[in-house]
Structure 1
Amino acid sequence: MLPEQQMQYNAEQSSSYKKEKALGLYQGMLLTFILAMLANSLANLPFFSILGVMIIAILLGMTWKASMDIPAGATAGITFSSKYLLRAGIILLGVRLNFVTIIDMGWTILVIDALIIACTLGFMLYIGKLLRVEQGLTLLIGVGTAICGAAAIVAIAPLIKGKHKEHAPLAVACIAILGTIGAIGFIITYPLLDLNNETYGILVGSTLHELAHVVAAAVPGGDVSSESAVVVKLGRVIMLVPVALIIAAFYNKKSFKKTKIQKLPIPWFIFGFLAMSVFNSIGVFSATIQELLTSSSVFLMAMGMAGLGLSINYKDFQKAGLRPAFLGIIGSIFIVILGIVLLILV
């Protein structure tokens, strides 16, 4: 083959590869988009509304992966959704956080949130060691339980060395199921609890995993319960920033000492979340813009959750066994008991 012909052949091969890669990217993103749309529709139905859009999305992704083939090239688009779109959704989620509202409720709420996170994480790391669950997986289930469910897991996973790509979907699925059970449990036991609506909301907001779980479980207590629950929950969400920085420093000590600041293993998108919170707190966004950004956040995170579901390898569940599930169950029970104790003491 002549040099000119070889160059032309190489150019054609390169062009063909780029087209296939682009097609796979679009296929994967389209699949996560469709699953997110379906999850959004299902979330409007009576029972499914308890689960929330993001939980439904990851369950749909898991179901699709278990029952149907995924085109090989679509992996790139699925990864893009589960990584970048999910992070974009987390950044936009900051628009729901208003520092003024948290301050108005008093510093007691932040104290409760801080104690909940510190005690739950410490307890679950200890129990995970006793159960011989891998430390990385233990930490992901712990932050999902203690802070803010899937968003915390996705933020912390890249900071942990080892099998974080395998562990993140397992942790998210565990938290999704246990959080849903917890929300249903609160709704059923609400009439039996001798709590006023505000106290009930604080208990829900300080102990349930996902924001969707908190919103659903607070409904029986009315507007007062819902408002206090969301504020307390968002207080836990904002603590994701310092927790992520501490974990990043602990797991990457050498990187923190030797690497330039822009290359540190810090989830920089969390600062985007924080910036959106600041903008919202000082009144930059109108009510219409805030509603648009909030709905966009939920949908982007739903696409990311669908991508995580599509990435789950069921062999990993078999390898992990029942011990991670036991860890999640014990942690979920512990955080509820701790929340009740703190309400009594504080």
Structure 2
Amino acid sequence: MALQQVQQEKHVTAANSTTVEGLSHSKGFVRGLLLTLVLAIIAGQLAKLPFLSIMGIMILSILLGMSWKSVMSVPTGAAPGITFSSKILLRAGIILMGLRLNLEQIVNAGLSVFLIDVIVIAFTLVVMMSLGKALSIDKHLSALIAVGTAVCGAAAIVAVAPLIKGKKEYTALAVACIAILGTVGAILYILLYPLLGLNSYSYGVLVGATLHELAHVIAAAIPGGEVSSETALLVKLGRVALLIPVALILGFIFSRNDGTKTAEKKSFKDLPVPWFIFGFLAMSVVNTLQLLSASVTNALIFISIYLLSMAMAGLGLSINFGDFKKVGIKPVIVGILGFMALSLLSPFLLYLL
């Protein structure tokens, strides 16, 4: 009897220990999730300020996350919730972001606009990845900076990073680089607008084809008026729509270059296909066919912005500033030279109109 009693007590102790660990894990998960939400909300408020609005809520979220970790440190046990935000919520946000696209409008814009977007993306990827190779920068990092410049800034970077097995510090550095360059670029365009001698439509094409983030495009297009703003947004969304083929191509290229992975790929599910990107395309189709009311669509787009911002905050909370010192100044040089090359391409792009 005594032996049975001891065994029962051991089972009860083990069960209680498991329960305590489960509750601790749950509390840590909620704590991490709430932290990313609070940072995203703060970033949303900061993004309403005049200058910070150019950077946008997503960029501010990752900067707040990085600042929080360096000053306050991450709460104990919060890692699961932070990881959930930076991975699961990221994919959900990208899927819902597809509701911004109306594929019919992009098709109706004509072949010239589509051709401009394709040239911009192909040119930028080739030039910047070649520069990265010439400067002996890690190919994953140069690819992330290139795709952020070519397609749609931070959203493109975080969408492509898992497909090419990019490190967290590379993702954060690429996002920070794009944030700074895009902000500087937007300010320069606003200042140079009176000197460029372009009509509103041409200026809108220039802004939409060459600036990084959607927030940068919206801010820089304002001096050209309504025509400029609508044109810039349309051209930019055309680049966003091309995120799908770009992600597929980069995922395929990097998986082929990784010899250890190639030999292991035996089933269809192992192929580097970003399934959440197809969710993005599905939402684009839903918006194009107007299957949802305008109010529901706007609400879901609002949710997607905050889901992506929570993901950015989670990414920032996972990064150490010391990681940036290891990389050096070369990635920033690639970002600057790539943006300059894209700007020099502008006259040819306008010639296609």
CA distance in structure 1 between the partners assigned to 2:202 and 2:196 by the alignment: 10
Conservation of the 8 A alpha-carbon contact between 1:166 and 1:312: yes
- Please report how far the alpha carbon of residue 345 of structure 1 lies from its aligned counterpart in structure 2 after TM superposition: 4.4
> Match of 1:342?
349
User: Structure 1 counterpart of 2:343, which letter?
Assistant: V
Aligned to 1:252, what secondary structure does the other structure show? helix
> Match of 1:269?
276
Aligned match of 2:56 in 52, 55, 62?
A: 52
2:208 matched to 1:201?
Answer: no
> Match of 2:303?
296
CA distance in structure 2 between the partners assigned to 1:16 and 1:77 by the alignment: 18
Q: How does 1:1-346 map to 2 (within 5 A)?
A: 2-161=6-165, 163-253=166-256, 258-346=265-353
Conservation of the 8 A alpha-carbon contact between 1:249 and 1:256: no
Q: What TM-score results when the alignment is normalised by the length of structure 1?
A: 0.95
CA distance in structure 2 between the partners assigned to 1:227 and 1:56 by the alignment: 25
Q: Percent identity?
A: 53
CA distance in structure 2 between the partners assigned to 1:290 and 1:84 by the alignment: 21
RMSD: 1.7
Point out where structure 1 has 5 or more consecutive residues left out of the alignment: none
In structure 2, relative to structure 1, the CA distance for the partners of 1:160 and 1:54 (3 Å cut) is same
Conservation of the 8 A alpha-carbon contact between 1:256 and 1:264: no
Q: What TM-score results when the alignment is normalised by the length of structure 2?
A: 0.93
In structure 2, relative to structure 1, the CA distance for the partners of 1:28 and 1:342 (3 Å cut) is same
- Please report how far the alpha carbon of residue 302 of structure 1 lies from its aligned counterpart in structure 2 after TM superposition: 1.1
Conservation of the 8 A alpha-carbon contact between 2:62 and 2:315: yes
- Please report how far the alpha carbon of residue 255 of structure 1 lies from its aligned counterpart in structure 2 after TM superposition: 5.2
CA distance in structure 1 between the partners assigned to 2:268 and 2:76 by the alignment: 37
User: Structure 2 counterpart of 1:179, which letter?
Assistant: G
CA distance in structure 2 between the partners assigned to 1:40 and 1:166 by the alignment: 24
Aligned to 2:128, what secondary structure does the other structure show? helix
Aligned to 2:345, what secondary structure does the other structure show? helix
CA distance in structure 2 between the partners assigned to 1:4 and 1:336 by the alignment: 74
User: Structure 1 counterpart of 2:21, which letter?
Assistant: Y
Conservation of the 8 A alpha-carbon contact between 2:99 and 2:284: yes
Aligned length: 345
Moved more, 138-147 or 261-270: 261-270
- Please report how far the alpha carbon of residue 256 of structure 1 lies from its aligned counterpart in structure 2 after TM superposition: 9.6
- Please report how far the alpha carbon of residue 65 of structure 1 lies from its aligned counterpart in structure 2 after TM superposition: 1.7
User: Structure 2 counterpart of 1:121, which letter?
Assistant: L
Moved more, 96-105 or 335-344: 335-344
Structure 1 segments, 4+ long, off by >6 Å, are: none
CA distance in structure 1 between the partners assigned to 2:177 and 2:277 by the alignment: 23
CA distance in structure 1 between the partners assigned to 2:94 and 2:192 by the alignment: 31
Instruction: Provide, for residues 231-273 of structure 1, a one-character-per-residue CA deviation record: whole Å limited to 9, x for no partner.
Output: 1111111111111111222222455994332332321111010
User: Structure 2 counterpart of 1:187, which letter?
Assistant: I
Aligned to 2:272, what secondary structure does the other structure show? coil
Instruction: Provide, for residues 36-85 of structure 1, a one-character-per-residue CA deviation record: whole Å limited to 9, x for no partner.
Output: 11111111122221221111111211221221121131122111111111
In structure 2, relative to structure 1, the CA distance for the partners of 1:136 and 1:249 (3 Å cut) is same
CA distance in structure 2 between the partners assigned to 1:115 and 1:291 by the alignment: 31
Moved more, 90-99 or 59-68: 59-68
